[in-house]
Structure 1
Amino acid sequence: MARFLSKLKHVIKINDITPALLEKWGPEECATRSVLATAYRLTHYLNWDDLIYGHITTRIPGNEDHLLINPYGIHYTEVTASNLIKINSAGELVDQGSAKFPFQPTGAVIHSAIHTNRPDLGCLMHIHSEPGIAVSAAVDKIEPIIQANVELGEISYHDFRGVIFNSEDKEPLSKDFPAPSKTLIMRNHGLLTGGETIEEAFNKMHFLHQVCQCYVNCGYIHTPIPARKLINQQILESSVYGNEECRYDTAPGVQEFEALARLLDYQGLETGYPYSEASKHILERNMK
């Protein structure tokens, strides 16, 4: 679970939007900021973060050219709705937010390159988790070995070309992540997922991380996977429809994300997440 979160004596609330900021940014952007900040906290909660590195970005409703990104220099447990930085798709600063830290050029290049080329993706999530790095360094192609593979869809790969921070690096990256893929292995680097929403990108990352962990746990980093252990492609494709049937009326990733967000609210972190009525009911009931 959380390595630092449970030890913090000072609660850093996630939804720190003031009335002045609500007027400045508007309700839609403020709500998006709260959800994105919650995603950063949950990334730490699940032990996927890497010091101050990695990024989750999302488009701002009503202005698809503007993206929210974390300040470079703060820990994921310090990310709040107000200190997220607003940049445009060219990687230029639009609004500094409440933090005095800058945004990282590498993150801006990676995310703006993909956001520009993939208008279907509202959110991108890039992490350096230990099993993810191991798989990105040692595995040529991810094979269907567990049920979580069903959720990954078409997997794309991008070869390591050095640290990405120049505009010249954008085209090769964007070409290697074509639609409809929402899962990208950045070789010798880490993992990246995308989704129409923050919740979908986060959920994709959960399943991708699960597959990578399985590779590590089963020793498939060093040895080939026996053919008899692979999931049949026909079964894999038919399982996608089964998962969709089990989703009730929520969008991809929402049920899972809400369940995790409630854990943060129980600890007094005040996510500000716009819960469904079912989640509001159980949250209110459990906090009485």
Structure 2
Amino acid sequence: MARFLTNAQRIIKIDDITPEQEEKWGEEECKTRRILATAYRLTHYFGWDDIIYGHITARAPGHENQILINPYGLHYTEITAGNLLKIDTSGNIIDHGSTKFPFQPIGYTIHSALHTSRPDLGCVLHIHSRAGIALSAAITKIQAVCQANVELGQISYHDYRGQIFKDEDREPLSRDFPAPSKTLIMRNHGLLTGGKTVEEAFTIMYFLHQTCQCYVDTGYLHSPVPHGKVLSREVLESSLEGSAECRYDTEYGVQEFEALARLLDYQGFQTGYPYSELSKSFLDSHKD
């Protein structure tokens, strides 16, 4: 259930980048910061966040070994484009952003490992949602039980070995999430998705969470899925082709993410999202 605050007493705008920061970080990094901060706010409003835990990271443009990550201690409604930290994959802080908060070692270990082992991923999104944790603890492997499965592709799995914060934890995690998979069930822990862009990783997570919720709502966490209810590989592949044909001229996930970003902007959160020309035209036609 989305939790958009239509009567918020105080709005912390998402795009708080100052002219000085814009000059320091450059246009491309600022663009990535705005999109990533928007993803954090949307993660909260869909109810997927876990107080101050969980992370969404994006590779800093032009720096393969640097990532943007949330300051450890802020709630997802407090994360902005300007206060995201920039760290390298060795754990060094490159830029604190506008706060003094540190980054979390667990988040660093998980995300730096995957950004290092998966150069194809520009964004990694990891959450501890209720439905996601329930499925990760109850199901050995996901079966195709609803249309949302079409978007998940090759699903990977990682067994729980305790908190992931040591160097030796990096290799097993990286091994269990090989390319081209963009969907990872972290057993007894939560969900993780990756994508070339923030929008792609977020949209895949939306469908993964929808699949988890389907398991919860149908009771399939407690009983085997009837054979006749499992979608065939042929049906999934043909449906995926159909989804691709219905997409207008944007990268995967942009249509969906833009629609959600517009919801935030309507409520005054000022995302600074770099909308497509279609969205810009629509927004212009509905200005007061």
Asked if TM exceeds 0.5, the reply is: yes
Q: Which residue of 2 aligns with 1:160?
A: 160
Report the equivalent of 1:207: 207
Once the two structures are superposed, residues 194-234 of structure 1 have per-residue CA deviations (whole angstroms, 9 ceiling, x without a partner) of 00000000000000000000000000001000000000111
| Shift in Å, 1:108 | 0.4
2:51 corresponds to = 51
1:50-199 pair list within 5 angstroms: 50-199=50-199
CA pair 248-3 structure 1, distance change in 2 beyond 3 A: closer
CA-to-partner distance for each residue in 1:127-170, whole Å, 9 max, x for gaps? 00000000000000000011110100000000000011111100
Change (3 A) 1:124 1:131: same
Question: Residues 4, 265 of structure 1: CA spacing in aligned structure 2 closer, same or farther, 3 A cutoff?
Answer: closer
Task: Answer with 138-147 or 5-14: which moved more.
Answer: 5-14
* Residue identity opposite 1:283 in structure 2: L
Report the 3-state secondary structure (helix = DSSP H, G, I; strand = E; otherwise coil) of the residue aligned with 2:133: helix
5+ residue gaps, structure 1, are none
Distance 2:105 2:5 in 1: 28
Query: 1:2 Cα shift?
Result: 5.3
Query: Separation in 1 of the partners of 2:173 and 2:6?
Result: 38
> What is the deviation of 1:284?
2.5
Mapped partners of 1:44, 1:6: distance in 2: 14
- For 1:148 and 1:91, how far apart are their aligned partners in 2? 36
CA distance in 2 between counterparts of 1:98 and 1:145 reads 44
Tell me, yes or no, if the aligned pair for 2:57 and 2:123 is still in contact at 8 Å. Answer: yes
For residues 257-278 of structure 1, what are the alpha-carbon distances to aligned partners after superposition, in whole Å with 9 as ceiling and x for unaligned? 0000000000111100000111
CA drift of 1:286 comes to 2.5
Please say if residues 5 and 77 of structure 1, whose CA atoms lie closer than 8 Å, have aligned partners that are also in contact. no
Tell me if structure 2 keeps the 8 A contact 1:55–1:70.
yes
Equivalent residue, structure 2, for 1:20: 20
Q: Which amino acid aligns with 1:103?
A: F
Residue equivalent to 1:267:
267
In structure 2, give the amino acid aligned to 1:277.
Answer: E
SS, match of residue 12 in structure 1: coil
What is the correspondence of 1:246-257 to structure 2 with a 5 Å cutoff? 246-257=246-257
Equivalent residue runs for 1:207-226 within 5 Å: 207-226=207-226
* Partner residue in 1 for 2:33: 33
Q: Distance in 2 between matches of 1:156 and 1:232?
A: 18
Residue 241 of structure 1 is matched in structure 2 by 241
Q: Deviations over 1:166-200 (max 9, x none)?
A: 11100000000000000000000000000000000
Q: TM-score by structure 2 length?
A: 0.98
Q: Is the 8 A contact 1:49 1:76 kept in 2?
A: yes
CA–CA separation in structure 1 for the residues paired with 2:59 and 2:199: 13
Cα distance change, pair 3–253 in 1 and its aligned pair in 2 (3 A) = closer
Match for residue 279 of structure 1?
279
Q: How many residues align?
A: 288
Query: How far does the alpha carbon of each residue in 1:88-107 deviate from its partner, in whole angstroms, 9 at most, with x for none?
Result: 11222111111111110000
Secondary structure of residue in 2 paired with 1:64: coil
How far, CA to CA, are the matches of 1:2 and 1:92 in structure 2? 35
Paired residue secondary structure (1:5): coil
Return the TM-score normalized by structure 1. 0.98
- Aligned counterparts of 1:79 and 1:19: Cα–Cα separation in 2: 19
Residue 237 of structure 1, CA deviation:
1.4
Contact 2:3/2:46 (<8 A) preserved:
no
Which segments of 5 or more consecutive residues in structure 2 lack a partner in the other structure? Answer: none
AA in 2 matched with 1:177: F
CA contact (8 A) 1:266 1:287 kept: no
